[in-house]
Amino acid sequence: MAKLSQDELLEQFSDMTLIELSEFVKAFEEKFDVEAAAPAAVAVAAPGQGGGAAEEAEEQDEFDVVLTGAGDKKIQVIKVVRELTSLGLKEAKELVDSTPKPVLEKVAKDAADKAKESLEGAGASVEVK
């Protein structure tokens, strides 16, 4: 197998869904017995907060993206849910119809923010917990 360049690897990753990327990171961590480090920006931002809040911000590294409402553009929201989760049409529709419901669970902060932005762009109401 030919060795892939960094650009080729990034191109492959850009075609993956967030769920697929999350699964890849877990498999990578298990295979090489490593753990993905928290971004340095979290450590830098935390000292500006109150004492208890800073500790809480450093401790929480997994977030849940909860769909609280589909809004007026329900079809667009279903499409985004399918992209984020790799669910089928029926399952995505059921998830959107049964709000509030978690769309993604235990994902990194940046993945949760991107998912929230995508869902809100489609007209949904979203919470990140």
> 60-126 domain in CATH 3.90.1200.10?
no
The answer to whether the CB of 103 falls within 8 A of the CB of 65 is yes
pTM of the full structure: 0.51
Q: Is the pLDDT of residue 47 over 70?
A: no
Q: State pLDDT tens for residues 82-127.
A: 888 878 888 888 888 887 888 888 888 888 888 888 888 888 888 8
Residue 74's CB is within 10 A of a number of other CB atoms, namely 16
Domain boundaries, the chain: 60-126
Q: 29-38, pLDDT tens digit by residue?
A: 888 887 766 5
